[in-house]
Each structure stands twice: as structure tokens, then as C-alpha cells.
Amino acid sequence: MGIFDRLSRGRRTATEVPRAISASAEPGGVLAPVDGVATPLSQVSDPVFAQGMLGPGMAVKPSGNVIYAPVAGTVTSAVDTGHALGLTSGDGMEVLIHIGVDTVEMRGDGFNVLVEKGDHVEAGAPLITFDVEKIRAAGHDDMVMVSVMNASGKAMPAVAAGVRVRAGEPLFSLEGRA
């Protein structure tokens, strides 16, 4: 049983599914999951992510409301509250996408998961839609964190902090992976 198995089983809600975007990640590379501004994990308000406890990665201050697959792989976790999702890439990276800080407290309000555990997705496939305004109205930070939970190296940013990124563009790669 892996870490993603402990988070939960997948869920799917009825909603209009956004179109996939054109995206392709290099081996060891992770794409931006959402439009927004690139931010180092060390600058997010969640200390677990900021201290790298869940692995190296980066964050995006979202301007969009759709989470797209940052790698091709298998959905290994889709939590019932819809605020987080795990993917395992074909080369074994365990990628965690977490929407907001303390958004588990919202109990799924404002989140629609579009995939189920076990689904295979291509990079750029829509995974989750979310309501940024509901997150903010609930008093939560809406930062989207992306980490590679089973990485031993560090994240090498593909873009500088503060730069606008579009979903599907390179966000970071892992040191020593290619």
C-alpha cells in the first residue's frame, strides 16, 4: 500500500468537463497544472510544503480554475474532498497536486474531481475544477502546490519565481533525472 492508497479512493462528479490542453513533459519534468504565477514551495503558507516534507516541487498562485495533469500517468489518489490528487508517472514519479491551504476543511465544496483512481491520463488532461472565490471566501490560501513525493533530489525550476505560467508549460524538473 502506497501513500496515495492511504489518502482515499477516487470520486467523480457530474460536471461539464473542460477540454484537454496540448502538453508534453520531458522525462523527470513536471508541467504547470494551472494558469497562474510560479512560486517556490519555500514561499507557500503551508509549512509542510514549504519545508519540503512532501518532496521537492513548486507552487502556482492560480489565475485559472482547472487543474490539468502535469505528467502522463495513472491516478493513484483522488481524495473525497477534491482538493488533492496523486499521479504516478510512467517513470515512477509520485506527483501530488494540492489545491489551497487547509482546504480539506471545505469538505469538497467548490471542487469537482473529473477522474477516478486507476484512470490513465495524458499530460494536459483535465483532472479537477475548483472555485477560487469559494476558497478565498472560506478564508483559505488558494495556492496550488505540486510536489514529487518519492524524489530524493531537489526541484530545478523551469521558470523564475513570479513569472506567469500557463497550464501545460514546464514548471520544474528533478535534479539528476532525465
Q: Which residue has the higher pLDDT, 83 or 7?
A: 83
For the chain, give the mean pLDDT: 89
Is pLDDT of 11 > 70? no
Model confidence at 40, in pLDDT bands (50, 70, 90)? very high
Per-residue confidence (pLDDT) for residue 176, from 0 to 100: 67
Question: What DSSP letter does each residue of 144-159 carry, written as one string?
Answer: EEEEETT--S-EEESS
C-alpha separations of 90 from 3, 60, 108, 172 in Å: 17, 24, 29, 17
Q: Which residue has the higher pLDDT, 153 or 69?
A: 69
Which residues, at least 6 apart from 149, have a Cβ–Cβ distance to it below 8 Å?
Answer: 3, 54, 55, 86, 94, 95, 96
**19-28, 43-52, 122-131: which has the minimum mean pLDDT?**
19-28
pTM listed for this prediction: 0.88
Is pLDDT of 86 > 80? yes
As its CATH architecture, domain 23-174 has Distorted Sandwich (2.70)
Q: What are phi and psi of 94, to 5 degrees?
A: -95, 100
State how far the Cα of 62 lies from the Cα of 30, in Å rounded to an integer. Answer: 16
Is pLDDT of 12 > 50? no
Residue 98's H or E segment, with its range, is strand 94-99
Answer yes or no: 83 catalytic.
no
